[in-house]
Amino acid sequence: MTHLPMTRDLQPLTKFNGRRATATEAAWHRIVAAVTNPELIAVAAFCAIGLAITINVLLHHPDVRLTIEQLDLFP
């Protein structure tokens, strides 16, 4: 049984356009990737719904301070 020698040839570069990505382009791509993350979108939607509910309750019950005093929750 003979062993063939291993040769490693360099692979040719594909579609090299001679332009390097700058730091601002790399930062922009990271920002876009973070904003389009489905988990971030889900968390932001959940927070927006919670904020909308909170504002809705505050607008429907403007005398919350009087209600809390009547219930004597915070002496």
Structural domain span for residue 64: 36-75
Residue 67 inside a domain? The answer is: yes
**Distance between CA atoms of 16 and 26, rounded to whole angstroms?**
17
**Percentage of the chain with pLDDT > 70?**
81
pLDDT mean over 37-59: 93
16 backbone φψ class: left, alpha, beta (φ>0; ψ -120 to 50): beta
Tell me, what's the pLDDT at 74?
60
Model confidence, pTM: 0.52
Tell me, what's the pLDDT at 41?
93
Q: 1 or 65: whose pLDDT is higher?
A: 65
Residue 5 inside a domain? The answer is: no
- Indicate the DSSP class of residue 17: -
Residue 29 inside a domain? The answer is: no
Number of domains the chain contains? 1
pLDDT mean over 15-34: 78
Rg (CA), the chain: 30
Q: CB–CB of 74/68 below 8 Å?
A: yes
3-state secondary structure of 4: coil
Tell me, what's the pLDDT at 75?
57
